[in-house]
Amino acid sequence: MDYTANNYDIVVVGAGHAGIEAGLAGARLGCKTVIFTINLDWVGNIACNPSIGGTSKGHLVREIDALGGEMAKAADKNTLQSRMLNLGKGPAVHSPRAQIDRRAYTADMKHRLETQENLDLIQAEITGISRTEDGLWQLATRLKTLYTARCVILATGTFLAGKVHVGDVSYASGPDGMFPANDLADSLRELGLPMRRFKTGTPCRVNRLSIDTSKTEPQEGDEKVARFSFEKDIPIKNNALCYITYTNERTKEVVKKNLHRSPLYSGLIDGVGPRYCPSFEDKIVRFADKERHQVFIEPCGENTEELYLQGLSSSLPEEVQLEFLRTVPGLENCRVMRIGYAIEYDCVDPLVLKPTLEFQDFPCLFGAGQFNGSSGYEEAAAQGLVAGINAVARIKGREPLILDRASSYIGTLIDDLVTKGCSDPYRMMTSRSEYRLILRQDNADRRLTPEGYRLGLISEERYSAFEEKVRLIEVERKRVAETIIRPSQALNDLLVSRETSPISTGICLEELLRRPQVDYECLAPFDPQRPDISPEVSEQVEIDIKYEGYIKRQQAQIDEMRRLEVKTLSENLDYSLISGLRREAREKLQKIRPANVGQASRISGVSPADITVMLIWLEKEGKNADN
């Protein structure tokens, strides 16, 4: 007999990175919220690479923090090694990355959920979801307990109808040996959600004591710690070593002679894998002329000898994985603790979602994370935060949070998913943003903290500190513009040594800083009036000065984009009424139902000519309404 338990404002299904941010946002914004997870010990599980951040992903984590999310703070607290990637390039692609103690991170996140007011954390498998006659959502557990909710956020990760593959062995499973959510997958299909099949994978884990690190290249963390959170009260460890080694021709030969035994090539796997994170056997096929591939050997935690082999994801049979591993320098005698595998899972077509991450045809039902077709912890957390905020907005009748492409990488990520869709697991990259010079990781707080404060996720204390930082940037920018540096032999020697021209008359400090060869630090001895400001403030001033021209040009592009974004489109607009639209455009617009003309212009199959037709039609309709 079914047992009816509690009613909630928001139910979050899944306690991975998306579910955590969704649940915390819902509870912190005043809604009675619950998170259900199959196993409480796997909250925030880092099932694959034991790291947070990286190229473009570090941008997402800093944006999550700027909005008031939790991932950055938990990552900083549980960091083993900190690095800033791409320092040899411009600031637009600088990205923080950290090796994480995966089990400490999980325990930390679990405790944050347990102590959050308005939030329940319950171990239970959700097996069914349905709509009640009064418009609420009803969820059933494996134990036949029923819960009702005003809003539901699906953050199921790779559990839906999960199936693991190793060689010719396949079995129903979630990640890391967990059991899959098969009944919920069936329930969502019965509900009418457009589901499809994706695939991801993970490499072997080996025992540190069996690795010969003398045959590898040690990789230390940066001397300067790259934090994720803009709150600086968290001490960060940065003392773990990673190692780099390389595969070789022998490794390639082992894989090539066993390709027919890979489920990727034998036909056992139907799901589509990630284009930008292929399995090792897929790399051998796609890059056949490449003599070697880089392998990063990374720690999984401070109190474990388990090491992760980044770059060697595989679903080949166990004995084949062991054979090719032992051709790699440093791994000749490695002892494998966990074998690599591929996992297939169900996810939804994100084209049926609104920019709020609510389903178009299922009111108060939201999707987040890998359920929406993305890959990666950071992409998941970003979507979970937005889904949680918008579930609260739906319940309380507030304006939803819709971040556009010019505001953030989060906005770019969601716009890509709901406007363009994805044919394989979506991964964020800096190249996906056309406004990346403005959307840097270093200025995420300047872009998004006011929004987080408006929403109620940023405290008064933190916002006051942010306002003081902005004030100091403005004061220093003004001082730099007014300060004149006099020529001297020492200054000219410095300029010549840095391959830039000497000066013969006084020059504005701002003009000197525009030169790419010089920076704040090297000019400090010649700037006696320089105040005692933080590196974060001087960094912002210097970047603003050096890239001012480029930023102005990009801002003009943003202004043009937003000119179309403000031309809203009704959710119920019948595109057959707009004469002159091509059939393909009409079909795509009817399916995706863009929120505005800007979003419509980014839909594949909608041409500039179609947008012109729409603009003319909208102008005419506006005039008719005025009459």
pLDDT at position 623 is 54
Confirm if 201 and 315 have CB atoms less than 8 A apart: yes
Taking residues 380-388, what's their average pLDDT?
98
Provide the pLDDT for residue 626: 41
Query: Quick one: pLDDT band at residue 393, thresholds 50, 70, 90?
Result: very high
Average pLDDT over residues 3-16: 93
- Banded model confidence at residue 1, pLDDT cuts 50, 70, 90: low
Residue 624 has pLDDT above 60, yes or no: no
Q: Within 10 A of 114 (CB to CB), how many other CB atoms are there?
A: 12
Into which CATH architecture does domain 566-626 fall?
Orthogonal Bundle (1.10)
Residue 627: is its pLDDT beyond 50? no
- pLDDT tens digit string along 257-285? 999 999 888 888 877 777 767 889 999 99
The pLDDT value given to residue 625:
43
User: For the CA atoms of the chain, what is the radius of gyration?
Assistant: 26
pLDDT tens-digit map of 330-349: 999 999 999 999 999 999 99
State mean pLDDT over 354-372: 97
Grouping H, G, I as helix, E, B as strand and the rest as coil, residue 183 is helix
Could you state, in order of their start, the residue ranges of all structural domains in the chain?
A: 460-552, 566-626
Among 89-103, 177-191, 262-276, 565-579, the minimum mean pLDDT is found in 262-276
Work out the angle at residue 520's Cα, subtended by the Cα atoms of residues 516 and 521, and round it to the nearest 5 degrees: 115
Question: Strand 484-485 to strand 507-508: parallel, antiparallel, or no bridges (unpaired)?
Answer: antiparallel
Mean pLDDT to the nearest integer, 453-472: 97
C-alpha dihedral sign at 275, 601, 193, 133: positive
% of the chain surpassing 90 pLDDT: 83
- 460-552, CATH topology level: Arc Repressor Mutant, subunit A (1.10.10)
DSSP code, position 420: I
Q: Tell which wins on pLDDT, 162 or 268.
A: 162
Taking a C-beta distance cutoff of 8 angstroms, is the pair 10, 153 a contact?
A: yes
Q: How many CA atoms lie within 13 A of 300 on its CB side?
A: 22
Q: Round the average pLDDT of the chain to a whole number and report it.
A: 94
- Measured CA to CA in angstroms, residue 610 lies from 103, 141, 526, 590, 622 at distances of 52, 48, 58, 13, 18
Q: Tell me the three-class secondary structure of 91-115, residue by residue.
A: HHHCEEEEEECHHHHHHHHHHHHHC
pLDDT at position 232: 80
One-character DSSP codes across 545-598: HHTHHHHHHHHHHHHHHHHHHTSB--TT--GGGSTT--HHHHHHHHHH--SBHH
pLDDT of residue 622: 64
- Nearest CA to 156 out of 183, 136, 116, 119 is that of 183
pLDDT for residue 5 is more than 70: yes
Q: What is the mean pLDDT of residues 381-393?
A: 98
Q: Is the pLDDT of residue 535 over 80?
A: yes
Whether 460-552 shares its CATH topology with 566-626 is answered no
- Reported pTM: 0.95
Interatomic CA distance for residues 265 and 511, integer angstroms? 59
Question: Mean pLDDT over residues 214-233, rounded?
Answer: 92
* b/e sequence 534-550, b meaning 16+ C-beta within 10 Å: eebbbbbbbbbbbbeee
The answer to whether residues 404 and 30 touch, using CB atoms and an 8 Å cutoff, is: no
Question: Which tokens hold the place of 126?
Answer: 């959700």
Over the stretch 45-95, which tens digit does the pLDDT of each residue have?
Answer: 999 999 999 999 999 999 999 999 999 999 999 999 999 999 999 999 999
d(CA 344, CA 273): 9
3-state DSSP assignment of residue 155: coil
The rounded percent of the chain whose pLDDT value lies above 70 is: 99
